[in-house]
């Protein structure tokens, strides 16, 4: 019996957290990936889109199949496929192979996460406790993913993000293997398959908004403000910390419908704050991140538990929540990517013009201006469609004290213009994301039964 497995509950919750962390763990590594694999920002977003798209498409079908195949077998098999695909991701040397491996990761992950919800009630002691464990594991995994990915990218490489998942997935599968060997297919489920449309619709819209909170903020920090992955990882830990702190407090808050609505408003407010940053300073992102993290704690658990509460075949309804969340992430990225890339190109052109004017107005000799202009142009061309890091174009600095000071002032002016342009380039996308979060209020309000937990 599963109840006899001492590590079963922990293994199942770790499996859920691991897979759902993978939907966001590569966010901080994306700049490194597109540089090493020589692809555009738009192309590298498919590292996120491919994973979430396959999750969205397969979550419900594999949940339906888990009863016929055996939930323990499906969980262990999914984890093994997830581990093998993670290894392939870590060894990929081109974007095509990486995307194919990400799709295989998502297929294994969908099987493991949905089947795990069928096993958790026996391991946790009740369906209500299982739903809370499953929701909390997914929320914590998704929140912690970017920070962990950033640390690994900086300290080791982006490939290490995938390689470290291999032993974790296999270790989680090990205590579940005996039950998988004894597993017997269950009777097919013919009733209770209708999802909670209001809760899942709100989940999809909030996930679209949260994709921006992670993806756009990371790109702003690393590409716009030129932070290292480890510095960006430290900066974005504010969001998961706020979420973790708010999680136990959220259950003492108002009734679930009000809690879900308040969380959506908090997420929208945080995203609007990111859209209105006064200048390129990391500290200005902390307040919005706290709002988004607290909103995440208030809303996600309430909506997921609502989608599962009192419903038979929990794996299937868990599949609906995974499908809704992943579809929301895909929709958010598909809608937002062309917006911020177009805005980034426009702001980049404005920054170049402002930089040219600053160069012409500087007190440097004409020959030095021409030399600097050529080096800056080379840097911009080398960076392609990315936000250029022009600092190296000013090296080596002149030996003459006056020229050296003038060169440093010019470099600061141009970098400030680039920072301003990069910050402004993300504003419209953050505002659109805030609208996604506010739109989640509609299905919450229209739910005939409310968000009953």
Contact at 8 Å (CB) between 175 and 8? yes
Would 49 be classed as within a structural domain?
yes
Torsion of CA 110, 304, 72, 178, to 10 degrees: 120
pLDDT value at residue 383: 63
Assess whether the previous peptide bond of 396 is cis (omega < 30° from 0): yes
pLDDT value at residue 66: 72
pLDDT by residue (tens digit) across 329-378? 889 888 888 887 787 777 666 666 667 777 777 777 777 777 777 777 76
pLDDT value at residue 181: 62
Nearest C-alpha neighbor of 93 from the set 157, 145, 19: 157
Would 383 be classed as within a structural domain?
no
pLDDT value at residue 80: 93
Would 393 be classed as within a structural domain?
no
pLDDT by residue (tens digit) across 398-451? 777 877 777 777 777 777 777 777 777 788 889 999 999 999 999 888 765 554
Would 22 be classed as within a structural domain?
yes
CA 208 to chain CA centroid, Å, is 10
Would 359 be classed as within a structural domain?
no
Q: How many CB atoms lie within 10 A of CB 92?
A: 19
Interatomic CA distance for residues 300 and 141, integer angstroms: 13
CB within 8 Å of 449: residues ≥ 6 apart: none
pLDDT value at residue 143: 67
Low-confidence ranges of the chain (pLDDT < 50): 1-6, 190, 451-453
Q: Is the pTM of the predicted complex or chain greater than 0.75?
A: yes
Residue 58 phi, psi dihedral angles, 5° rounding: -100, -15
Residue 99 sits in a domain of what CATH number?
A: 1.20.1250.20
Would 360 be classed as within a structural domain?
no
Give the total number of structural domains in the chain: 1
Would 19 be classed as within a structural domain?
yes
pLDDT value at residue 351: 64
DSSP symbols for 96-107: HHHHHHHHHHHH
**51: containing domain:** 2-177+197-343+426-446
Would 388 be classed as within a structural domain?
no
pLDDT value at residue 103: 95
Contact at 8 Å (CB) between 219 and 429? no
Three-class SS state of 322: helix
Three-class SS state of 109: helix
CA dihedral sign of residues 259, 287, 273, 203 = negative
DSSP conformational letter for 398: P
What's the token pair of residue 412? 């600061």
């Amino acid at each position: 019996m599963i109840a006899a497995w001492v590590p079963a509950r922990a293994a199942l919750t770790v499996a859920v957290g691991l897979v759902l962390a993978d939907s966001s763990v590569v966010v901080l590594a994306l700049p490194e990936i597109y540089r090493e694999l020589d692809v555009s920002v738009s192309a590298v977003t498919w590292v996120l889109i491919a994973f979430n798209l396959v999750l969205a498409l397969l979550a419900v079908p594999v949940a339906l199949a888990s009863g016929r195949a055996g939930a323990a077998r499906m969980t262990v098999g999914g984890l093994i496929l997830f581990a093998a695909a993670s290894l392939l991701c870590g060894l990929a040397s081109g974007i095509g192979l990486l995307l194919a491996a990400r799709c295989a990761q998502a297929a294994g992950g969908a099987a493991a996460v949905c089947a795990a919800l069928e096993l958790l009630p026996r391991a946790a002691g009740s369906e209500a406790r299982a739903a809370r464990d499953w929701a909390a594991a997914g929320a914590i995994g998704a929140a912690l993913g970017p920070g962990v990915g950033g640390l690994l990218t900086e300290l080791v490489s982006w490939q290490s993000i995938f390689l470290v998942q291999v032993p974790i997935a296999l270790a989680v599968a090990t205590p579940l293997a005996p039950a998988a060997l004894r597993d017997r297919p269950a009777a097919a489920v013919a009733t209770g398959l209708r999802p909670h449309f209001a809760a899942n619709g709100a989940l999809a819209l909030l996930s679209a908004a949260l994709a921006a909170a992670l993806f756009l903020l990371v790109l702003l920090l690393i590409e716009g403000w030129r932070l290292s992955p480890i510095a960006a990882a430290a900066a974005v830990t504010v969001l998961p910390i706020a979420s973790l702190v708010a999680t136990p407090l959220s259950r003492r808050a108002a009734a679930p419908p009000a809690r879900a609505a308040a969380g959506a408003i908090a997420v929208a407010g945080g995203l609007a704050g990111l859209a209105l940053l006064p200048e390129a300073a990391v500290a200005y992102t902390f307040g919005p991140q706290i709002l988004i993290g607290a909103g995440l704690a208030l809303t996600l658990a309430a909506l997921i538990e609502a989608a599962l509460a009192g419903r038979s075949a929990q794996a299937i309804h868990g599949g609906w929540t995974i499908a809704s969340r992943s579809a929301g992430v895909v929709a958010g990225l598909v809608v937002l990517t062309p917006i911020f890339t177009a805005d980034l190109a426009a702001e980049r052109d404005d920054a170049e013009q402002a930089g040219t004017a600053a160069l012409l107005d500087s007190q440097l000799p004409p020959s030095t201006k021409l030399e600097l202009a050529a080096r800056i142009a080379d840097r911009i061309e080398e960076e392609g469609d990315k936000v250029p890091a022009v600092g190296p174009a000013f090296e080596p600095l002149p030996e003459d004290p006056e020229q050296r000071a003038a060169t440093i002032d010019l470099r600061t002016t141009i970098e400030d213009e680039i920072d301003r342009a990069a910050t402004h380039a993300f504003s419209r996308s953050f505002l659109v994301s805030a609208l996604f979060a506010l739109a989640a209020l509609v299905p919450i309000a229209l739910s005939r039964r409310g968000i009953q937990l």
